[in-house]
A and B are shown apart, each in its own frame.
Chain A
């Protein structure tokens, strides 16, 4: 079943190539939709309350090297799989390629196969293969269909991520050799976990650093984030959506699964570094976003800030923080994906992304403005919408384990409102084109019903996961709790968690009231005596 999630997009990619130009988009849309539906089936069949891997499929691939085609899904990866399953058809539906349709959709479908593969792999080597493969189609998408300085952006993206992950391959191989059981190799992370005892401290540190570096670039963590604004800004809309929505998550997902999962003790020791970089990312990303003049670049920098929250949650090492981090990965994908789609539509219509070239757009495009407002509020983290849940849990968790970092990070919440609302004010509010004081003569065409339908699933998700996040968290929590439990036993570490009391309820209130009144009467009686 999980294998199909990878195979269907791959077959679709092949089909796209052999079809005509005009059919490419339709074929890709059908293929990615089938994949998306399949991911929903996985979601509905997923056993709630289970912490281990489900739907595991295990096939020997290169037995002599212990490399297996091992796929599985647990609470940590489940929603990422669904996200990668559904974001692609939405991106295909809401965008279009300007030229070379077949190649464009070929790359897009290869990307879907690769990213689903990365989230589904339990075999470390397999994970690495997918982790690397996704770079290639993305490189072509940016370089071939991007805007402006696209070749530079694509190359920068490729070199950054490639260079950082080259070392990870060495780390993975070393890990496989060091944890081999006699003559039997295995890259299955469950086997590796079981045999970690034989790995020396130095080796652990070296391997973890090779991992952490690869993931940190992907997230991206300050100060190795500078590939992101270029890549995001120059990429075609579909590329930006997938890059922000799915690919950045490979970094944070890797940190949880392969950093914290395999090297709990060392990862915990690294916490001060990552917490600090995460907090810097939040404040710095927001500050830089505030003064951007290019709307897409502004959204790109907002990703730096949002991803900083996720890093923070991971390194809180408690239930709230980690659950929040996983939740935030999904919700960031939804909100920022939608934001990039909208900015892409604006660019298609106005042929500019300069904020100063827009004014009063709400006048001619009220529906567009309404959708934009909802997405912006979600990205700001308004309670009741999806963006809030993860952010709140992350900050709550971090506050329990690393208080002062949480205090600074919470200040980042103010900045998010500042840059997004200010940008909205300058573009959608103000005098519309043709009236006095308008800074531009550009008129935004409103959303067509088709476009509205295309983005509707994201809008529905924004509201649904804001009102009823339990649907998501219920499936994530068992796996996260199991992970925490394991790091507690392995790393001699105690989760900084607050004890919850039995709920007082109405009886508690009545009791508290009676107690308070008795106290007061006693005090008054005492005063009366003296």
Chain B
């Protein structure tokens, strides 16, 4: 089965091609089913490969499938080849798993859309690209996937293109990511120049010999790339706008899978990270920590149900960077998986709400939906408990591990992480209250909210189960807990891919317990505070206050609402000085550059006039002569050839 790993990306590619050719004819819902089955087959293949890989000795859990030589020039050669190892298969498992559920959900969500089949074409294309990204055995194939998912993201954000806002958001996502790609390409060049290859196997063997300065430069350039794709400061600005796309897209691409690519990339390159100077890790960790905090403060003040989740995603991704920066690859991947479950769940839940509320996204006009949408609200609440870090839901376990790592590395990072956790509990509780609790703040008779169809609720239920129990993937307990079995399942499984670069801190067991208790306490305080502020009897109780009064919340500071004006500053620069500079270039081209050449031309025309007296002066005549001359010459050659 390992040699058949190419089937994993081949399945969604087939779905893509089928729908491309006959999708329009298949129509709704058949085109959607074709795509869903393609994604599901891919998941099945991944599971089979997973079991095959498990049956091997841990140190032998590597397999390379070479398909063909993609680009080769001189000493540079890259294959279209797949690297099957614990890391890539872990990624592939949740990409195809969550991906299948979201495909299924989309059949319901996209019901009645005039471009139904096109949506699934893009979705399959996305899964295919994402699988190349994680399975590629070299930096360039990963880059192909990297750009492929970016292109799909662009196409899907601007899927409802007639709204200028969607169109603009799509372009913004692509161009912002291109800034990151600049880093990716330079880093790739530097890797090639340093070790003469960009295959991951060569990187793993040669990385320990790379000079610290070079390794640091490589990592920082890849970090730039990762901040683009994974929406970190300074390039996070595209993600909140990307919510303009259909909600399944937000769930799949902008929450569960694509945006984790940056973290995957840094994890994949752990041998180079290990060779870099220690401060490089700090840069990564602080990038993540600051992003986590800034985005969490912004999430607190959003009224759009999806924008809350968007900033929340940015914030949670910050956690992953924090973890990678302090050498906690396993917690990073662990939280990446649990986050994929609960954030996909929350996004799909919000999609279900938007669907049921007939395209209403503003939480100020919601409330009391628990009664109308029981499945959606029940599953959403599980997602909320998971992200807020309430034990025993999955988010508690994975977030706690990151906080333990942060504590071991740098107490300041831990403080930022804890404050972020507190804010997370707060804004998520606010969201749940505003959406599902209290009384409706809309005209029930007019809106008639309703529960979503089965194709949408089934994925919600499955994801909510996963979000509840996924903490079991990597439990922090010692061996005695389960009668001698090591319960650090994920840690043991990922070990081969990490080349002993996972950091180890000798934090005492009792300290860990205290840290967990503090985190839980923080979550509890946050939830309590939110209920106090927004819940029954609170000063901003959803029951009594009008929509206008909700607006007067002390949280509605323009700084929070606009995420500290980072995006606005960029926009101002690009629209102002940036645009002016480009226009100056254009002006310069029309006047200075062209002007000089015109002057020269004018001079030569003057000289030409002198000669003209002796000549006929008609270009036409010369040209005719040249043409006839040419024909005569060629004719002569033919004659010579024949005779």
* Chain A positions near chain B (C-beta within 8 angstroms): 3, 6-7, 10, 14, 59-61, 69, 110, 129, 132-133, 136, 139-140, 156, 158-160, 163, 222-226, 284, 287-288, 290-292, 318-320, 323-324, 360, 362-363, 366, 373, 377, 382-384, 388-389, 392-393, 395-397, 399-400, 406-407, 410-411, 413-414, 417-418, 421-422, 424-425, 428-432, 435, 437, 467-470, 473, 477, 481, 497-501, 503-506, 508-517, 519-520
Contacts and interface: CB of A to CB of B under 8 A. Distances in A.
B74 A323 contact: yes
Q: Across chains A and B, which 8 residue pairs bring their CB atoms closest together, nearest first?
A: A319-B74, A429-B167, A399-B189, A500-B75, A383-B144, A323-B73, A516-B500, A520-B500
Given A291-B583, A499-B196, A504 B201 contact: yes
A508 B204 contact: yes
Interface in B153-209: 154-155, 158, 161-164, 166-168, 170-171, 174-175, 178-179, 181-182, 185-186, 188-190, 192-193, 195-197, 199, 201-202, 204-206, 208
A499 B206 CA distance: 13
Nearest to B604: A163
Contacts of B22: none
Contacts of A291: 579, 582-583, 585-586
A399 B623 contact: no
Given A421-B174, A470-B72, A226 B594 contact: yes
A333 B191 CA distance: 31
Given A61-B636, A61-B637, A497 B75 contact: yes
A326 to B, nearest CB: 10
B71 interface: yes
A517 B204 CA distance: 13
A226 B195 contact: no
Most B C-beta atoms less than 10 A away, residue of A418, A435, A469, A520:
A418
B507 to A, nearest CB: 16
Most B CB contacts (10 A, CB to CB) among A6, A362, A425, A505 go to: A425
Contacts of B501: 516
Contacts of B581: 287
B148, B500, B597 — most chain A CB neighbours (10 Å): B500
- Interface size classification for chain B: 35 or more
Nearest to A414: B178
B500 A129 contact: no
13 contacts: A323-B74, A384-B148, A411-B182, A413-B181, A414-B175, A421-B174, A429-B162, A477-B73, A481-B74, A500-B76, A504-B206, A506-B64, A508-B202
Interface stretch (B310-318, B353-361, B397-405, B626-634): B626-634
A432 B72 contact: no
B63 interface: yes
Interface string B130-167: 00000000001001101110010011001001111011
A349 to B, nearest CB: 19
B70 A501 contact: no
Interface in B604-643: 604, 619, 623, 626-627, 630-631, 633-634, 636-638, 640-641
Nearest to A229: B589
Contacts of A110: 627
A431 B163 CA distance: 6
Contacts of A425: 158, 167-168, 170-171
Contacts of A290: 582
Given A414-B175, A430-B167, A383 B147 contact: yes
A366 B119 CA distance: 13
Contacts, number: 253
A382 B147 contact: yes
A392 B77 CA distance: 13
Contacts of B155: 373
A57 B404 CA distance: 77
A6 B151 CA distance: 42
B199 A287 contact: no
B27 interface: no
Interface in B562-611: 579, 581-583, 585-586, 589, 593-594, 596-597, 601, 604
Contact of A223 (B582, B593, B604): B593
A293 B497 CA distance: 51
Nearest to A430: B164
Contacts of A160: 597
Contacts of A7: 634, 638
A131 B530 CA distance: 77
A431 B162 contact: yes
B59 interface: yes
Nearest to A424: B171
Given A226-B597, A520-B500, A383 B586 contact: no
B60 interface: yes
A311 B593 CA distance: 20
A6 to B, nearest CB: 7
A510 B64 CA distance: 12
Contact of B76 (A139, A140, A393, A508): A393
Contacts of B633: 61, 129
A429 B155 CA distance: 11
Given A382-B147, A470-B71, A3 B77 contact: no
Contacts of B164: 429-431, 437
A383 B140 contact: yes
Given A3-B637, A319-B75, A226 B593 contact: yes
Given A410-B186, A421-B175, A512-B499, A392 B71 contact: yes
B514 interface: no
A397 B640 CA distance: 45
B182 A413 contact: yes
A226 B588 CA distance: 11
Nearest to A469: B71
Contacts of A418: 175, 178
Given A61-B633, A393-B73, 18 more contacts: A110-B627, A129-B630, A136-B626, A139-B619, A139-B623, A226-B589, A291-B585, A291-B586, A363-B161, A400-B189, A413-B182, A417-B174, A468-B70, A504-B206, A509-B62, A512-B205, A513-B496, A517-B500
